[in-house]
Structure 1
Amino acid sequence: MYTLNFDTAEFLREYWQKKPIAIKNAFNAFEDPISADELAGLAMEDDISSRIVQTQADAWSVVQGPFEDYEKYGEDGWQLLVQAVNHWYPASQPLVEAFRFLPDWRFDDLMVSFATPKGGVGPHIDNYDVFIIQGEGERRWQVGNIGEHQQRGGDKNSPLVDDFDPIIDVVLSKGDVLYIPPGYPHCGETLSLALSYSIGFRAPSQQELLTGLADSLIDNNSGEQRFTSTQEKANKGLVGQQQQQAMMDMLAELATNPSQYQTMLGKLLSQNRFELDLNPIEQAICEADVIEAIEDGASIQRIGGLKVLKLEADTQAHLYVNGEVINVDGIDADIVSLIANEHLFSQQQLSTWVSQPSVMTLLSEFINQGWFYFSE
C-alpha cells in the first residue's frame, strides 16, 4: 500500500498545472514495486516500449528496445526507461492508485527507469504533467521556470533544450516526489544506482480533439449541414469576414451539442498510447459461467492500464472502454459507477450482482474481450 503524506486538496489548489514542487518524504518507508532485474526483463519484450539513453560529453543518444543484454553499456552514464509498466506488471498498480486523486481520463502511464551514476536524459520540456517518485538510490533534479527556451544547439528537431537557471535544485531520495507541470524545463542526473517512477497525466490537444470529432462525424454520417449565406461581397475574389466567422460558428455549434461530441470524447479519452496486456480467452464464456465462477469464490479484476470511463450528464447510457462504446442501459447507475471506478471486485461484492442478468452479461463481455479476468 502506498499512501501520500501530503494534502492532495491543497496540492490541487496551489500547484496542479500551476507550478512545480519538490515534496520530501511524500511516502513513508517507500518500497520499490519492481526490481532492476525485473525491469530489465520487461525491456526484453517486443510488445513493451523501452529505450536506453546514454550520456556522452554534454550530448545524449537514444537506443530503442527491446534489449537482449546490458553489459556493453558499462557501469555509468546510461539510463533504461520502460513505458507503461503498470500494463504489464500488476504489482505496480498500488503505486498508481496513490495518484488516483486525479481522474483516470488524464492518466497516461507509469514509466519506470533504472539509471547508473551520471545517467540522465538531458534538459527537456514535457507537454504533460508528471510526478517523479524516487525509489532506490539518489538523483539530483533541476527545474527551470516556464518561458521561452531554445532547443539545444539551435536544432529544431532536438527534443532537448539549452541549459536553464533552476528554480528548483534538489536531490531526491527514496520516497521523495517531484511534481512538474507542462512547459517547465527539467533535467535529472543520477548520483547512485537508482530506480525512479514517472507517473504522467496528459490531456488532448486541439489537433486530437478536431481529428476525433471529424472521425466521429464520418463514422456516424453526420455533420453534413452546409454553410448558407444571403449576403455576399461584390468583390469577386474576396471571402468576407462575416462569412469566415459564420463558417467557424457553424463548426463551433458541434461543440455545444452533446449528442455530437460526447461519444467522441468518451472514445478518445479511454484510449491508451501504449499496448495493453490483453488476454482474450479462447473459448467465450457466458453469463452462467461468470455466475458459477463467482459462486466458486472468484473475484474479478481489471487489467493494468485499462480505462473504463463514464461521462457526467451523458445523453446515452454508455461506458467507454479502450476506445469502444459499451451500452449499459438497464444497469443500476451505482453499479456502472463502481465498474468505472474500481479495479478489483471481490467475490462478496459480485455475489450481490449475480441476480442481475444485465450485469453478468456485461462482465462476461469484458472477460471475453480480455479487459477483465478472474482472480482468487
Structure 2
Amino acid sequence: MDMIAFDHEQFLREFWQKKPLLIRNPWKAWTNPLEPDELAGLACEDEVESRLVKQAADNWELEHGPLAENRFGRLGKAPWTLLVQAVDHHVPSVATLLEPFRFIPNWRVDDVMVSYAVDGGGVGPHFDQYDVFLVQGLGKRLWQVGAPCGPDAELLRHDDLRLLANFEATEEWLLEPGDILYVPPRVPHNGVAVGDDCMTYSIGFRAPSRSELIEDLAEAVTADLEDDDRYADPNLQAQENPGEISREAIDQLLGMVAERMLDRDAFARWFAGYSTTPKRPEISWQPEEPFEVDEVRRMLAEPTELLRNPASRFAFVRGKPGSVLLSVDGRCFDCAGETVVFAEQLAGQDQVTVGPNVAASEPTVDLITTLLNQGSVAFDQEAEGA
C-alpha cells in the first residue's frame, strides 16, 4: 500500500522518539485490508494470540483467546474491544501495511496488532515501552495523548492490564480511515471508538531492554564455555589482610568476563540470531514435502519470484570485505562471493527475482533450499502457474 508523501528524514529528525505526530490520510487510495469477521475468525484459532477487553463503569475485564465462535454474540451492551496480535503473519494484505515504514530498520519491527471495537470501546489510558504507528482502518476513533510518563507513573490495580491511574490529556484528535497517529515510547495515550465497526492497525516496534539483552547474551555465551576455563593465579603474592579481594584479582576476574562478553563479532552473530527469532517459534511453517537441491536448481531455470514468509524475520550484518552474516528466523548463515548480493536483497525486500544467474551459484542454491525447507521463503505459485 503506497503513500502519497511522507518526509522520512523530517519525521526521524523532529518526531521519532520525541513527540507524537498526526498524519492525515497520506495514502494514495486507502483500503481497509481486513474485514471485521476475518479478524474475529483469527481470534478463534489456537495459534493466534488474541485478547478481549470489556469495560463496565470503572471495571476492566481481560479475557485471553482463543475465543469460542459464539463468544461475540454473548458480549452484551458494555463497550468491548478485540485485540489480535501479529495479524501480518497470517494475512498478506495486512503485512503490506509495513512497507511504507521500512525506513526504520527491519529488526526493530515487531508486528501489526489489529483491534476492533464497538462504540465506546478501548483498552484504557496506558503507555507503551516502544514506538507505535496507529493506523485507522475502519470507522472512527478519538485519540488522546498526555505528557510523557516517568518511572514512577501510578498504575491501576489490575493483574493483566497496565492502565494509568491518573491520565491528563494534552491533545486529542478524531481519526478517520487512513489517518495515522505516531506515539513515541512512554507517551500515554487513550483511544475510544466513536461508533461501531472501529478497526485500528497498531504497527509496533521492538526495543529490547538492557536486562533482556544481558540475560540472553549471558546464556548464549555460557553455553559455549568449557567448565575447566577457570580463574588461575600462579603469581599469587601473600596479602597483609586475607579478607581483602585484591585489585589485581578483581581486574583479572573482570577481564575473564569482559573478554567473552565484549567480543564484537560474537556479539553481532548472537544479536543477529536474537533479533530474528520468530515471535511464535512454536508454529511450524515448513513445507509438507522437503525440497531437494537439484529440484530447486531446476525451478531456477527460468526467472521466478521468491517470496518471504511474512511471519519470518530477516537481517544481515556486514563482516569482512565481501562477506555478510545473514540471519533468518534465528539461524545464521555466512555468505560470501555471489551469495552476498542475494542475501542483502532477501534481507531488504519482501520478494526477490531469482533465476539462472542464481542457479549457477551452488552456495546460493544451497541457501535457498535451506530457507525453503525451514518455511522462511516460498516460490510464488501464481507466477509459476502463469
User: TM-score w.r.t. structure 1 length?
Assistant: 0.89
Match of 2:311 in 1: 305
* Aligned CA distance change for structure 1 residues 233 and 90 (closer, same or farther; 3 Å): farther
Measured after TM superposition, the shift of residue 26 of structure 1 is 3.1
Q: Is the 8 A contact 1:2 1:94 kept in 2?
A: no
* Aligned CA distance change for structure 1 residues 246 and 126 (closer, same or farther; 3 Å): farther
* Aligned CA distance change for structure 1 residues 238 and 58 (closer, same or farther; 3 Å): farther
> Pick from 366, 371, 374: which aligns with 2:371?
366
Confirm or deny that 1:288 pairs with 2:294: yes
Partner Cα separation in structure 2 for residue 231 and residue 21 of structure 1? 64
Match of 1:60 in 2: 60
* Aligned CA distance change for structure 1 residues 363 and 154 (closer, same or farther; 3 Å): closer
Q: Is the 8 A contact 2:303 2:356 kept in 1?
A: no
Q: After the TM superposition, which residues 265-280 of structure 1 pair with which residues of structure 2 at under 5 Å, given as runs?
A: 265-275=271-281, 278-280=284-286
Match of 1:96 in 2: 98
C-alpha offsets along residues 149-192 of structure 1, whole Å, 9 cap, x if unaligned? Answer: 53334669751112322232111111111111111111111112
Q: Counterpart amino acid of 2:318?
A: E
Structural RMSD (CA): 2.8
Partner Cα separation in structure 2 for residue 27 and residue 277 of structure 1? 33
Match of 2:32 in 1: 32
Measured after TM superposition, the shift of residue 353 of structure 1 is 1.2
Measured after TM superposition, the shift of residue 107 of structure 1 is 0.6
Q: Is the 8 A contact 2:268 2:317 kept in 1?
A: yes
Instruction: Point out where structure 1 has 5 or more consecutive residues left out of the alignment.
Output: none
Q: Is the 8 A contact 1:212 1:264 kept in 2?
A: no
C-alpha offsets along residues 258-306 of structure 1, whole Å, 9 cap, x if unaligned? Answer: 2331221111111133358643123322222113223466422111131
Confirm or deny that 1:335 pairs with 2:348: no
Q: Is the 8 A contact 2:156 2:162 kept in 1?
A: no
Q: Counterpart amino acid of 2:63?
A: V
Q: Counterpart amino acid of 2:363?
A: S
Q: Counterpart amino acid of 1:309?
A: A
What is the DSSP-based 3-state SS (H/G/I as helix, E as strand, rest coil) of the residue aligned with 1:218? helix
C-alpha offsets along residues 213-265 of structure 1, whole Å, 9 cap, x if unaligned? Answer: 21221232269464869789855556578866775565444454223312211
Measured after TM superposition, the shift of residue 54 of structure 1 is 0.6
> Pick from 211, 216, 219: which aligns with 1:212?
216
More displaced stretch, 22-31 vs 7-16? 22-31
Q: Is the 8 A contact 1:87 1:276 kept in 2?
A: no
Q: Is the 8 A contact 2:154 2:166 kept in 1?
A: no
* Aligned CA distance change for structure 1 residues 283 and 305 (closer, same or farther; 3 Å): closer
> Pick from 150, 155, 158: which aligns with 2:153?
150
Q: Counterpart amino acid of 1:268?
A: Y
**Number of aligned positions between the proteins:** 374
Partner Cα separation in structure 2 for residue 360 and residue 270 of structure 1? 22
Partner Cα separation in structure 1 for residue 164 and residue 242 of structure 2? 48
What is the DSSP-based 3-state SS (H/G/I as helix, E as strand, rest coil) of the residue aligned with 2:317? coil
Q: Is the 8 A contact 1:227 1:250 kept in 2?
A: no
Match of 2:169 in 1: 166
Partner Cα separation in structure 1 for residue 57 and residue 251 of structure 2? 53
Partner Cα separation in structure 2 for residue 138 and residue 24 of structure 1? 13
What is the DSSP-based 3-state SS (H/G/I as helix, E as strand, rest coil) of the residue aligned with 2:101? coil
Measured after TM superposition, the shift of residue 25 of structure 1 is 2.0
Match of 1:8 in 2: 8
Identity %: 33
User: TM-score w.r.t. structure 2 length?
Assistant: 0.87
* Aligned CA distance change for structure 1 residues 293 and 116 (closer, same or farther; 3 Å): same
What is the DSSP-based 3-state SS (H/G/I as helix, E as strand, rest coil) of the residue aligned with 2:277? coil
* Aligned CA distance change for structure 1 residues 32 and 225 (closer, same or farther; 3 Å): farther
Q: Counterpart amino acid of 1:162?
A: A
Q: Counterpart amino acid of 1:369?
A: Q
Match of 1:196 in 2: 200
* Aligned CA distance change for structure 1 residues 323 and 232 (closer, same or farther; 3 Å): farther
Match of 1:49 in 2: 49
More displaced stretch, 70-79 vs 262-271? 70-79
Measured after TM superposition, the shift of residue 132 of structure 1 is 0.5
Partner Cα separation in structure 1 for residue 131 and residue 232 of structure 2? 40
Partner Cα separation in structure 2 for residue 66 and residue 284 of structure 1? 31
Measured after TM superposition, the shift of residue 104 of structure 1 is 0.9
Q: Counterpart amino acid of 2:49?
A: S
Q: Counterpart amino acid of 1:362?
A: L
Partner Cα separation in structure 2 for residue 234 and residue 133 of structure 1? 69
